[in-house]
Chain A
Amino acid sequence: MRVNIVFPADVGKSDYIGIWERFMGLFAPFSKKEASMEVRTLYLTETGDLPCEVSAEGQVDCIGIQKDLSSGTLSKYLSGYLVEHPAELCIFAPTMEGKILARLCAAANKWEYYGEVVEFAEDEMQIIRKVYSTHKDAIFRIDAGRNVIVPTAGGEKQECNFSAQNVVVNYEKWPEEKEEQGRILKKIPKPAADDISKAKLVFIGGRGLKKKENYVRLKELAKKCGAFCGCTRPVALSGWEDYSNVVGISGNSLTATVCVTFGVSGSAPFLYGMENVGRLIAINTDPDAPVFAAAQDGMIEDCIQMMEEMEKVMFGEN
């Protein structure tokens, strides 16, 4: 089987190894079957230099691309490259740009696209992908022709060999072209840590808080703990909080190192906003609440009592 692997230019310098390990985890079923794989790797970089050690056997291409090239223009070059090097599977690194380029290439060439892929099913050419966040995955048949795949960032990983021998790296530069369509007028760096999506410590209140007064109390507690406070969509719909602090698919996606949920059940749209949280600690009275499936630590406790106890700890009453 022929496989093309594409690393777009927005992969962080320290993220290459993790992504390679994720790819190796994805290929595990093929390795088990000892299926032969012909891998071709494409690194797109703004410097034109190889961004990480070569980790796969096979052909490696390192393409220098023009800074600020729009995804539309870049995908035209990339499509040309992928047509020139046909493969049954074309796997993109799960970054923002990776997902955009993957979709553009698939749509332009009428290839099948599968995003949020968790793993390959072992028996046949089938993939398992997320369809309802932590509630449900689904198995899809892979087309016999050409398939574009973007895996989930989290999931099965496997160590890989970073000292592959006999690999030839081909350096190229894709022609610069002056872009009129998509020309950049202004570029403003996103502000750092001034909103909930960038905060490192976040408390989130759900319907389990029962009334607005308790949510206000949670906000106070968060403030004293140096945390940002957000809420679920039903809490905002109840008028307890402004919509700008909603967490989930219809609001903010968090990147917090620690996030504590108070009385949040953990619906699929909510958990979508939690995918990049480092450590999720869930407090809920219902042991079957879906939030526990996504949490690293859980407490089966009443969230209002927990707030009271936390306040006591804070003021030295315990």
Chain B
Amino acid sequence: MEIAVCFKIVPDYEDVIPKDWEDMENIDFTFVKKIFGCYDEAALEAALQMKDALQKAGKSVHLTAVTAGEGVSRLFTALYGAGFDEVVHISDEKIEFCPEETAKRLGQYLQPKKPDLILTGRMTGAGDSGMVPVCLAAGMGYEWITDVTDVSYNVENDRLEVWNQDTQNEICRVLDFPTVCSIGDGKHPYLRLVPLKAQMEARKKKPTKYDYEEEKEYNSSLVRYKECKQATICHMIESEDIKESAVWLMNVISEEVR
């Protein structure tokens, strides 16, 4: 079985200092540590969990992790160490606010491989549109299901069993291959820890470079950034001393508990 995971490497926004957000022309994330998109990380681990289960059932699995955009060798090494058979890096071009383009690049690599299952995170950041997996599925003619919490393979009927959530329920659905599953609040949100020996081995492996073949230019409809319109107006509690503030706060809490 061929399983591919599409992921994005993003800056850790927790590390961006407040002053840097003030620049409306550009945001400099170069000094910020890079991490896997949080839902993508859950998708990567879900694929590894599935590989473990399939291998236990005597099935052969090939696991590929694919990213378009920024690449970070430390993270590629972590993927090889964790158990991915291949890590593919599609160009270094930074693609922002143009999900169709990202999906096209991923699709061009994945189409000839025809993976049985493609896993992605449901989105990569707070303001991300979450459109890449949908466009990828539409472009490849795959079904798409989102807010997935767990994926498993039913050996008896050769089908997928996918748990996802709506506002009120956890739902288990039967799906045919091929399918794109977008992982939301995954059962395993973090990539497994890799033993030192496996890490050393993984360092010898390099990601496969894939050059996108079509014209490189694309149009993003971004005009410019702007300051957020403050939706709420913060009422600052001014009191003579901290004791008075604590009494006020405890009153609010007591009312809520009542």
Asked if A305 and B221 make an inter-chain contact with CB atoms under 8 angstroms apart, the answer reads: no
| Cα–Cα, bound, A27→B29 (Å) | 35
Asked if A136 and B225 make an inter-chain contact with CB atoms under 8 angstroms apart, the answer reads: yes
| Cα–Cα, bound, A186→B161 (Å) | 10
A257 an interface residue at 8 Å Cβ cutoff?
Answer: yes
| Cα–Cα, bound, A128→B223 (Å) | 10
Q: How far is the CB of B32 from chain A (nearest CB, A)?
A: 11
Which residues 57-96 in A have Cβ within 8 Å of B in the complex?
70-72, 95-96
B126 an interface residue at 8 Å Cβ cutoff?
Answer: yes
Q: How far is the CB of B246 from chain A (nearest CB, A)?
A: 3
Q: Cβ of A280: which chain B residues have Cβ within 8 Å of it?
A: 232
Stretch with Cβ within 8 A of A (4 or more), from B48-56, B206-214, B236-244: B236-244
Asked if B226 and A136 make an inter-chain contact with CB atoms under 8 angstroms apart, the answer reads: yes
Q: Cβ of B125: which chain A residues have Cβ within 8 Å of it?
A: 132, 249, 268-269
Asked if A131 and B246 make an inter-chain contact with CB atoms under 8 angstroms apart, the answer reads: no
Asked if A293 and B234 make an inter-chain contact with CB atoms under 8 angstroms apart, the answer reads: yes
Cross-interface CB contact of A294 among B99, B161, B232, B247, cutoff 8 Å: B232
| Cα–Cα, bound, A133→B18 (Å) | 13
Asked if B234 and A296 make an inter-chain contact with CB atoms under 8 angstroms apart, the answer reads: yes
| Cα–Cα, bound, A243→B38 (Å) | 12
Cross-interface CB contact of B229 among A114, A137, A188, cutoff 8 Å: A137
A32 an interface residue at 8 Å Cβ cutoff?
Answer: no
Asked if B13 and A268 make an inter-chain contact with CB atoms under 8 angstroms apart, the answer reads: yes
- Per-position 1/0 for A109-152, Cβ under 8 A of B: 01011111011000000101111111111111111000000000
Q: Max chain B CB contacts within 10 Å: which of A135, A226, A227?
A: A135
Q: Cβ of A295: which chain B residues have Cβ within 8 Å of it?
A: 232, 234
Q: How large is the interface on B (under 10, 10 to 19, 20 to 34, 35 or more residues)?
A: 35 or more
| Cα–Cα, bound, A64→B55 (Å) | 45
- Per-position 1/0 for B228-258, Cβ under 8 A of A: 1111101111000011011101101100110
Asked if A297 and B237 make an inter-chain contact with CB atoms under 8 angstroms apart, the answer reads: yes
Cross-interface CB contact of B126 among A183, A269, A302, cutoff 8 Å: A269
A185 an interface residue at 8 Å Cβ cutoff?
Answer: yes
Q: Cβ of B138: which chain A residues have Cβ within 8 Å of it?
A: 107-108
Asked if A183 and B245 make an inter-chain contact with CB atoms under 8 angstroms apart, the answer reads: no
Cross-interface CB contact of B18 among A184, A190, A289, A294, cutoff 8 Å: A289
A301 an interface residue at 8 Å Cβ cutoff?
Answer: yes
Q: Cβ of A128: which chain B residues have Cβ within 8 Å of it?
A: 226, 229
Asked if B126 and A130 make an inter-chain contact with CB atoms under 8 angstroms apart, the answer reads: yes
| Cα–Cα, bound, A19→B229 (Å) | 20
Q: How far is the CB of A220 from chain B (nearest CB, A)?
A: 15
| Cα–Cα, bound, A272→B123 (Å) | 12
A217 an interface residue at 8 Å Cβ cutoff?
Answer: no
Whether A132 touches B127, Cβ cut-off 8 Å, given contacts A118-B229, A181-B175, is: yes
Stretch with Cβ within 8 A of B (4 or more), from A33-41, A42-50, A97-105: A97-105
Query: A279's closest neighbor in chain B, by CB?
Result: B252
| Majority DSSP secondary structure for residues of B touching A | mixed
Asked if B222 and A138 make an inter-chain contact with CB atoms under 8 angstroms apart, the answer reads: yes
Whether A267 touches B14, Cβ cut-off 8 Å, given contacts A96-B147, A318-B247, is: yes
Q: Cβ of B16: which chain A residues have Cβ within 8 Å of it?
A: 135, 267-268
A160 an interface residue at 8 Å Cβ cutoff?
Answer: no
| Cα–Cα, bound, A236→B191 (Å) | 15
Which residues 294-318 in A have Cβ within 8 Å of B in the complex?
294-302, 305-306, 309-310, 312-314, 318
Q: How far is the CB of A56 from chain B (nearest CB, A)?
A: 25
Q: Count of chain A residues with Cβ under 8 Å from any Cβ of B?
A: 100
| Cα–Cα, bound, A249→B185 (Å) | 9
| Cα–Cα, bound, A230→B174 (Å) | 35
A106 an interface residue at 8 Å Cβ cutoff?
Answer: yes
Query: B241's closest neighbor in chain A, by CB?
Result: A309
Asked if A309 and B243 make an inter-chain contact with CB atoms under 8 angstroms apart, the answer reads: yes
Asked if B228 and A292 make an inter-chain contact with CB atoms under 8 angstroms apart, the answer reads: no
Asked if B222 and A140 make an inter-chain contact with CB atoms under 8 angstroms apart, the answer reads: yes
Q: Cβ of A113: which chain B residues have Cβ within 8 Å of it?
A: 99, 129, 131
Query: B14's closest neighbor in chain A, by CB?
Result: A267
Q: Cβ of A298: which chain B residues have Cβ within 8 Å of it?
A: 234-237
B172 an interface residue at 8 Å Cβ cutoff?
Answer: yes
Q: How far is the CB of B51 from chain A (nearest CB, A)?
A: 22
- Per-position 1/0 for B23-44, Cβ under 8 A of A: 0100100000000001000000
| Cα–Cα, bound, A128→B222 (Å) | 10
A6 an interface residue at 8 Å Cβ cutoff?
Answer: no
Whether A201 touches B253, Cβ cut-off 8 Å, given contacts A72-B145, A187-B171, A309-B246, is: yes
| Cα–Cα, bound, A70→B190 (Å) | 29
Asked if A258 and B256 make an inter-chain contact with CB atoms under 8 angstroms apart, the answer reads: yes
Cross-interface CB contact of B127 among A133, A292, A313, cutoff 8 Å: A133
Q: How far is the CB of A268 from chain B (nearest CB, A)?
A: 5
Asked if A305 and B242 make an inter-chain contact with CB atoms under 8 angstroms apart, the answer reads: yes
A219 an interface residue at 8 Å Cβ cutoff?
Answer: no
A288 an interface residue at 8 Å Cβ cutoff?
Answer: yes
19 contacts between A and B (CB under 8 A): A72-B144, A103-B130, A107-B138, A115-B130, A130-B126, A132-B13, A139-B222, A181-B143, A182-B174, A190-B170, A227-B253, A260-B249, A267-B16, A268-B127, A271-B126, A297-B235, A297-B236, A298-B236, A310-B250
